[in-house]
Structure 1
């Protein structure tokens, strides 16, 4: 690690949660772990793996688990007197293992972490992974090749590669170094070069269930204010999104928003004013942006309720199901809410871009939603 990066935040770490390399357990992704272990046990492990799925469901945590696992596996040996050694049934590694300790300290010689580095001035993180970072990877692979051991590369996230860096990574995938495994984390694989996707084996991860999300939040030391059900509904099964929601009181904010919507079609103006002022005071930019997201979320849940005839489960706020069913009882209502969502979203983005008064913008948005309810 170069000196200029020491004072910069880690670009692959969510504020308020441990870095994935320090996360002891991975919840809800047993299928992905079994798929990798099966490939490893077959003796034909692919050199490139693309870990995909929504942001915050554990892709990076799985990548670090795989890295520790691969770096602690003994070299292949011919069967002995009692046959071939038993294949591992888990990615778990003793946290006291020297490799595990070195990986946690980013001092393991067989591991390279490719992520955004400092910008040209060295005073902030670059907005993309640049080709200079990939050149460091090539140097690592060339130097470590002499030792003959396994090498693991974690790229977090592949979506952040700029054009030149993506082409450099592609060349490595086309001509993979011996005994090297590349683990590419991707939130939006469709944005990657098709040739990068085609040269990797895909390992998809799914959103977490409410129980798995609650366990993951407890491991991260995050209190599920409002209950894990509310966070599961609002986060889409993403631990990362749930952590952000918990830090900003997202469950309580959504409950307040749903309380305002419960008054429709006759808008409860005092409640609407209180909500808009709470999300628009000094230093509340994060809460304002979160409310914008929650408004979009509420409109999506309204549309889904009318289209399917039942509200999404679990409830994201007390009494939400009753409100959704009343405001969106049929497919015709669902179409109305679906048509309104991009209009409201566009107005909120425009208002933020031109620095409109946040309280007025929120209140105007609530009136627009009330007009649709009528």
Structure 2
């Protein structure tokens, strides 16, 4: 679906960085790329794929890279396809230009759309969004090749939207491909998961992350190398998180959040109230996102530490329960525009309980 220049902000684009459809380089994930290419070369391409892994590691970039390759090479039996070693398409290829500009009829993007009334993105992918894609998907292929639907990300599908999309997957036109980008594949509707081949991506290495930041360009690549390396190490293999940490005072803010989390189960309520003040207000979306990512990293690290230490599964239940409650609390805060102050206090109450139990 084409997007006019100068249109509303895109929910699947970070700041002013290149969109995944505009990104030709892929850092890491050679085995995942080969799995897609090999399936296509052998004409055994699954109709639907879940590309899973941590946020910001290149899942959407790989999905768009594959869609671009299919658009450039619709026949898997050609020598160009059979001799290919990667999914790379030259930047001057017409397929690369059309994908970058969304000037095509056969690739469909399903994502959180812009709400003109609130001047924000919707908090989820709605059933109306899926119905629009479904109508377009059943039209004749504009290029006589593949129809590709990219869902970025599947975590944002509400239940009605997921069920509507399931019907399209069950009765698709010929030569259709569905690529689900998922940060947490386990949260995807089970009936959709059962119809997908899963392709899991791991976090990038620090060197790969630094190289990816360099490819993104200014202003992020202009930071001193030691700052980029420090942000990459903190981001744990996420390019998106590295870019966020390189913006403004994000690194210092992230450090202060980490300090509060590391003191648990003792809660520094003075610091927590100061943090809540920082996150309150319409212009603090970046700080809020930094807080949520720091929270995710903290919980992941705690679970890994306990698991490596041979902790019984029962000791991890508190973290799983706390994370589910925090996610629900965050979603309700966004959907109903609740005060973030109450959410932050609730987060630390739940984490302190989980840490104390562990």
TM-score, normalization: structure 2?
A: 0.72
1:241 deviates by 1.4
Alignment of 1:90-129 (within 5 A): 90-119=86-115, 121=117, 123-129=119-125
Q: Aligned partners of 1:292 and 1:150: how far apart in 2?
A: 38
Aligned residue in 2 for 1:197:
193
Q: Distance in 2 between matches of 1:151 and 1:33?
A: 20
Q: Aligned to 2:146, which of 143, 150, 159? A: 150
Deviation at 1:126, TM superposition (A): 2.4
The Cα offsets for residues 6-53 of structure 1, whole Å up to 9 and x where unpaired, read as: 642101111242211111211111111011111111111111111111
Q: How far is the alpha carbon of 1:76 from its aligned partner?
A: 5.2
When residues 199 and 22 of structure 1 are mapped into structure 2, their CA distance, relative to the original with a 3 A threshold, is same
The answer to whether the Cα contact below 8 Å between 2:276 and 2:340 also exists between their aligned partners in 1 is no
Asked if 1:219 is matched to 2:215, the reply is yes
Residues 106 and 143 in structure 2, CA contact (< 8 A), matched pair in contact too: no
Residue 280 of structure 1, CA deviation:
5.8
Structure 1 gap segments, 5+ residues each: 263-272, 310-330
State the distance in 2 between where 1:227 and 1:60 align. Answer: 26
What is residue 185 of structure 1 aligned with on the other side? 181
Q: Is the 8 A contact 1:279 1:291 kept in 2?
A: no
1:21 corresponds to: 21
Q: Is the 1:50–1:183 contact (alpha carbons within 8 Å) kept by the matching residues of 2?
A: yes
Q: What is the 5 A alignment of 1:5-20? A: 7-20=7-20
When residues 133 and 228 of structure 1 are mapped into structure 2, their CA distance, relative to the original with a 3 A threshold, is same
For these two proteins, the number of residue pairs brought into alignment is: 331
In structure 1, distance between residues paired with 2:232 and 2:61: 19
Distance in 2 separating the partners of 1:168 and 1:217: 37
Q: What is residue 71 of structure 2 aligned with on the other side?
A: 71
Match of 2:266 in 1: none
Q: How much has 1:54 moved relative to structure 2?
A: 0.9
In structure 2, what is the equivalent of residue 247 of structure 1? Answer: 247
- 1:208 alignment counterpart: 204
Give, in angstroms, the shift of residue 305 of structure 1.
7.2
Unaligned runs of 5+ in 2: 263-269
Q: Cα offset for 1:139?
A: 2.1
TM-score in terms of structure 1 length: 0.69
Q: Contact 1:210–1:228 at 8 Å: present in 2 too? A: no
Give the superposition deviation at 1:236: 2.2
Structure 2 CA distance for partners of 1:232 and 1:150, relative to 1, 3 Å: same
1:53–1:186: 8 Å Cα contact kept in structure 2? yes
Instruction: Write out per-residue CA displacement over residues 231-284 of structure 1, whole angstroms, 9 at most, x where no aligned residue.
Output: 23322211111111211434444567889999xxxxxxxxxx999979967989
Q: Distance in 2 between matches of 1:43 and 1:200?
A: 17
State which structure, 1 or 2, has the greater radius of gyration over its C-alpha atoms: 1
Separation in structure 2 between the aligned mates of residue 174 and residue 15 of structure 1, nearest angstrom: 36
